[in-house]
Amino acid sequence: MDDADAVARSRDGDLDAYAVLVARYTLRAHRAAWLLGAGEDADDVVQEAFVKAFRSLPKFRAGEPFAPWLLSIVANETKNLLRSRHRRGALALRLSALEPDASVPDAPFDEAVAGERRARLLAAVNALPDRERQVLVCRYFLDLSEAETARVLQWPLGSVKSRTSRALGRLRGLVVPEDQGRVFHG
């Protein structure tokens, strides 16, 4: 069953059809919530997002992709969580939450160097201002298109483009001097 069928059937009260959508997008929603700052509360954010999405299905526009719409709800729930905490927490990226790397280092030394580079890159992403971190998380960690990122973050497409460019430039400035250009090329 594709997303459009599952949404249509869910609107008619078919909970099994909605369960298909939940199963299909839970991991991605959880990753988004985690990377956008929910941390250990990502499960709660995702659960609340799926409940709100179900209640809002009558407002969902037929023909639109479901994933960006759901992720925008996840992003809003994450913002609500962060606001309710009354503090700005550092983003803790779990490597296990990221897609596994297809390249396998040839030697333990290479693996250690790659791990150090990855840790520096993630620390640099965490050091970025919120909006720049959010746009990079959506574009590169969640692999969303510019249009999908704009929908998720509820920003104009031009803002996504300019903030992505600015964030990449700032990230280069944070990472490249430490590693002479070998860690991040984007």
Write out pLDDT tens, residues 104-159: 555 666 666 667 777 788 888 888 888 998 898 888 888 888 898 999 899 999 99
Residue 102 class from Cβ within 10 Å (0-12 exposed, 13-18 middle, 19+ buried)?
exposed
Chosen domain end from 39, 54, 85: 85
Q: Kindly report whether the global pTM for this prediction surpasses the value 0.75.
A: no
Write out pLDDT tens, residues 63-93: 899 999 999 999 999 988 887 764 333 333 3
Q: Say whether pLDDT at 97 is over 70.
A: no
Do residue 79 and residue 105 come from a single domain?
no
Cβ atoms within 10 A of the Cβ of 121, count?
Answer: 18
CATH number of the domain bearing residue 9? 1.10.1740.10
Report how many domains make up the chain: 2
Domain that holds residue 156: 95-179
> How many residues appear in the chain?
186
Do residue 172 and residue 127 come from a single domain?
yes
CATH number of the domain bearing residue 129? 1.10.10.10
Do residue 78 and residue 128 come from a single domain?
no
Asked if 99 and 57 touch (Cβ cutoff 8 Å), the reply is no
Residue matched to tokens 């939450």: 97
